């Protein structure tokens, strides 16, 4: 699992690559904290290379969403694949993110 963060852009672009399973979710804690700290700008997460997301991964998405929410921002998800979209729909996460 790799996370690429473009800190200097506005909005901040975050690209998630690979499988976000429980093991990966435990390893990306630092990156998620970094993204949370950048939430004063709007955040756009590119999910086109995200193959799978588990509930722990959703929790990271929620953390980013909450951090952005404190600044009144909405987090945008782009390139969401069908299976990820299915998970987002089941959990109704599609209602708290701007999916493009």
Partner 1 sequence: MSRPKIAGIRTYISLSLLVILIGGIVFTTGFGICLYLSRTQITELTNKGISRDLDLIHNYVDGQLQSIEEVAYAISWAEDPNYAIYDPTDFDSEESMFVFLENILNVHSNICGIAIGLEPSFSTQQQGSYGFAAYVTNVSGKNERLRLGAINDYRKKEWYCKAAASDKTYWSMPFRESNMGKVVTCFSLPLHDKTGKFVGVLALDINTEAFRLKCNEIMPFKHAEVTLVARNYRFISHPDTSYLLRNVAEYHPEQWKHVQNQDLTFQKKFFRLNSADNKSFFYFDTIQRTQWIISIECPIDEVYSSVNRMKRDTTWIAIASILFMIICFIYLFRRLQKITLSKANLDKEVKIASGIQMDMTPKDGEPLSENGQLDICGFLQPARDIGGDLYDYFLHDGNLYFCIGDVSGKGIPASLFMSATHYLFRSTLECCEDLAQAVANINRSLCTNNERNMFVTFFCGKLNSATGKLDYCNAGHNAPILISHEPGKTRFIQTTHRLPLGIMSDVTFQTETMNLQNGDALFLYTDGITESMNLKRQEFGDQQTLQCVTAHASESTQDIVKKLYTDIQQHADGAEQSDDITMLCFRYNSSDNS
Question: What is the nearest approach in angstroms of partner 1 to the Cβ of residue 97?
Answer: 11
Q: Taking CB under 8 A as the rule, does residue 92 contact partner 1?
A: yes
Distance CA 91, CA 49 (A): 21
Minimal distance in Å, beta carbon 24 to partner 1? 11
Q: Which of 20, 24, 25, 50 binds partner 1 (CB under 8 A)?
A: 25
Q: Is 5 a residue that touches partner 1 (CB under 8 A)?
A: no
Does position 81 interact with partner 1 (CB under 8 A)? The reply is no
Per DSSP, which regions of the chain are E strands?
Answer: 2-6, 12-20, 43-53, 76-78, 98-99
Minimal distance in Å, beta carbon 88 to partner 1? 10
Q: Does 49 bind partner 1 (CB under 8 A)?
A: no
Contacts within 8 Å (CB) and 24+ apart, 90-98: 91/58, 93/58, 93/61, 93/62, 96/62, 96/65, 97/61, 97/65, 98/74
Near partner 1 by CB under 8 A, which window of 4-12, 41-49, 62-70, 72-80? Answer: 62-70
């Amino acid at each position: 699992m790799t996370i690429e963060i473009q800190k200097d852009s506005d909005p901040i672009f975050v690209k998630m690559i690979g499988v976000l399973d429980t093991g990966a979710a435990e390893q990306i804690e630092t990156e998620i904290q970094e993204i949370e700290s950048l939430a004063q700008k709007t955040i756009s997460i590119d999910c086109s290379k995200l193959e799978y997301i588990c509930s722990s991964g959703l929790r990271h998405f929620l953390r980013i969403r909450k951090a952005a929410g404190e600044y009144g921002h909405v987090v945008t998800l782009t390139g969401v694949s069908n299976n990820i979209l299915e998970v987002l729909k089941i959990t109704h996460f599609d209602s708290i993110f701007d999916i493009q």
